[in-house]
Amino acid sequence: MDITYTANGLSDMNPSEWNGSIRSIRMELPYEFLVTARGSSFHLIVARHCSSNYICIPDWNIGTDIAGLSDSFWNLEHLSNTYPDISLVDLISITDALSTLDEYVKIW
């Protein structure tokens, strides 16, 4: 499965929108995807453990809880606080990809 999505940056970003692509690697739990946007690539692993949802991005040393896939506000806030060295553009690319994936997969 290949999906194109639009990431919606903040109003003061230039550009304020950009396209990204999502390629499925594994379509069963834990789900795995390759996300590419604005020159960055992310190997996303998303699933649910006993008490919440999680995301791992092994190549970027990211592993943390997330809200529902479609909760871009909470996920962006949490990721930016937990991983302040990751650029806001990359974090928006990730959270908007997760939101898009909510239409295709269910992790709970």
- Summarize pLDDT for 54-100 with one digit per residue, the tens: 999 999 999 999 999 999 999 999 999 999 999 999 999 999 999 99
pLDDT at 1 over 90: no
> What residue ranges do the domains of the chain occupy?
2-101
pLDDT at 7: 96
d(CA 5, CA 99): 10
Which residue type sits at 5?
Y
Locate 104 and state its tokens. 């295709």
pLDDT at 51: 87
- Tokens 């950009």 found at: 18
**Predicted TM-score of the model (pTM):** 0.93
Question: Exposure pattern of 18-31 as b/e (b: 16+ CB <10 Å)?
Answer: bebebeeeeeeeeb
CB atoms < 10 A from the CB of 71, how many?
17
- Summarize pLDDT for 18-57 with one digit per residue, the tens: 999 999 999 998 999 999 999 999 999 999 998 899 999 9
pLDDT at 13: 87
pLDDT at 63: 95
pLDDT at 11: 85
